[in-house]
């Protein structure tokens, strides 16, 4: 199996989490996740932008075109109330599953 860039099913959660601190554009989200994870997690563009479309459709984020500090047009995403709630749900589920996997892996 090829080394995956991230665990399938966790991307939306990571994006939502990244937006809890402040609105960010796509490029910034990807950089942020990469940096916070010490380069372990890499969000490919072909995964990122479709994911952002999904989140927009679900109403979990909203988007706004602005100018960045480096003087470029970019689409800034902001977490909505629904998005914050969704993030809580996903984190809870994720931790439950990770705990369960941990139990299986730690069996004598």
Interface with a copy of itself by CB under 8 A: which residues? 1, 3-4, 6-10, 12-14, 17-18, 21, 33, 36-38, 40-41, 90-91, 93-94, 96-101, 103-105, 107-108
Residue 75, binding choice from a copy of itself, DNA, none, Cβ under 5 to 8 Å by partner class: DNA
Q: Which is nearer to a copy of itself, 67 or 89 (CB)?
A: 89
Give me the sign of the Cα torsion angle 67, 69, 72, 75.
negative
Residue range at the interface with DNA (CB under 7 A); choices 4-12, 32-40, 79-87, 94-102: 4-12
Residue 47, binding choice from a copy of itself, DNA, none, Cβ under 5 to 8 Å by partner class: DNA
Distance CA 24, CA 32 (A): 9
Contact between 57 and DNA by CB under 7 A: the answer reads no
Contact yes or no for 38/50 (Cβ under 8 A): no
Q: Which H or E element spans position 64? A: strand 61-67
Contact between 64 and DNA by CB under 7 A: the answer reads no
- Token pair of 12 as six digits: 């939306």
**Residues 6 or more apart whose Cβ sits within 8 Å of residue 54:** 12
Residue 37, binding choice from DNA, a copy of itself, none, Cβ under 5 to 8 Å by partner class: a copy of itself
List residues bridging with 79 in a β-sheet: 61
């Amino acid at each position: 199996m090829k080394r995956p860039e991230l665990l399938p099913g966790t991307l939306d959660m990571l994006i939502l989490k990244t937006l809890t601190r402040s609105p960010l554009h796509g490029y910034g989200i990807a950089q942020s996740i990469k940096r916070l994870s010490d380069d372990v997690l890499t969000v490919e563009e072909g995964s990122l932008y479709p994911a952002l479309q999904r989140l927009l459709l679900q109403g979990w984020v909203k988007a706004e075109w602005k100018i960045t500090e480096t003087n470029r047009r970019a689409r800034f995403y902001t977490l909505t109330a629904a998005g914050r709630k969704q993030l809580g749900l996903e984190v809870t589920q994720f931790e439950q599953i990770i705990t369960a996997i941990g139990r299986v892996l730690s069996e004598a």
